[in-house]
A and B are shown apart, each in its own frame.
Chain A
Amino acid sequence: SQELEQSPQSLIVQEGKNLTINCTSSKTLYGLYWYKQKYGEGLIFLMMLQKGGEEKSHEKITAKLDEKKQQSSLHITASQPSHAGIYLCGAGLSYGGSQGNLIFGKGTKLSVKP
């Protein structure tokens, strides 16, 4: 079955440091979504990427989708304690299929030490 692999599973960084989280699939993705979740809370939508080579930024977070649309990275610049949480990637499996159903990676737990 189709899976999204996220790496690393967890990450501890010092405040002010940069970090990167990866999301990889063996198949072409139709829509790649990044979410952030704080423990015990719902998912907050961060960004969506659709086109190969696309890159989007929001504040200090940048997400990229590779040309083959099989891998995405989420990069945080100058991390802050407010960036701490679980980052999940989600993706559509087929163009126009399954009514927009997504599959998700298992998440990357980010801790930022002040």
Chain B
Amino acid sequence: SQTIHQWPATLVQPVGSPLSLECTVEGTSNPNLYWYRQAAGRGLQLLFYSVGIGQISSEVPQNLSASRPQDRQFILSSKKLLLSDSGFYLCAWSRAPPRPVYEQYFGPGTRLTVT
């Protein structure tokens, strides 16, 4: 069976500090990977998605970046955090096309507080 892990579970960082959140998937190969942010009152917002190693698409311009160094590893980074980066970050995976849509499976999330 497939599992998805996120690390760390919670993080408190000062403004201007760097960020690195990690997501790994087990039990599947060549998945599509996604980073979402969930902020209070704003719903779930897609930040990045990746269809393969080194392939990253950004949905929302911001000071965050994503990388996919390995098939089942997805990393969310920032060089300098802003207060507005606080939120609950969720990683998700889905099977790749050719089917038109696939259900996405989510990790446990990382709660980021920028102080």
Contacts and interface: CB of A to CB of B under 8 A. Distances in A.
Interface of A: 30-31, 33, 35, 40-45, 48, 50, 88, 90, 92, 95-97, 99-107
B27 interface: no
A48 B108 contact: no
A110 to B, nearest CB: 16
Contacts of B97: 96, 99-100
30 contacts: A30-B100, A30-B101, A31-B100, A31-B101, A31-B103, A33-B104, A42-B6, A42-B106, A43-B90, A43-B92, A45-B104, A48-B103, A88-B43, A88-B44, A90-B44, A90-B104, A92-B101, A95-B100, A96-B100, A99-B51, A100-B32, A100-B101, A100-B104, A101-B34, A101-B49, A102-B104, A103-B46, A104-B43, A104-B44, A106-B41
Interface residues of B, number: 30
Interface of B: 6, 32, 34, 41-44, 46, 49, 51, 57, 59, 88, 90, 92, 94, 96-98, 100-109, 111
A106 B43 contact: yes
A102 B94 CA distance: 11
A99 B49 contact: yes
Contacts of B88: 40
Contacts of B46: 101-103
A90 B96 CA distance: 18
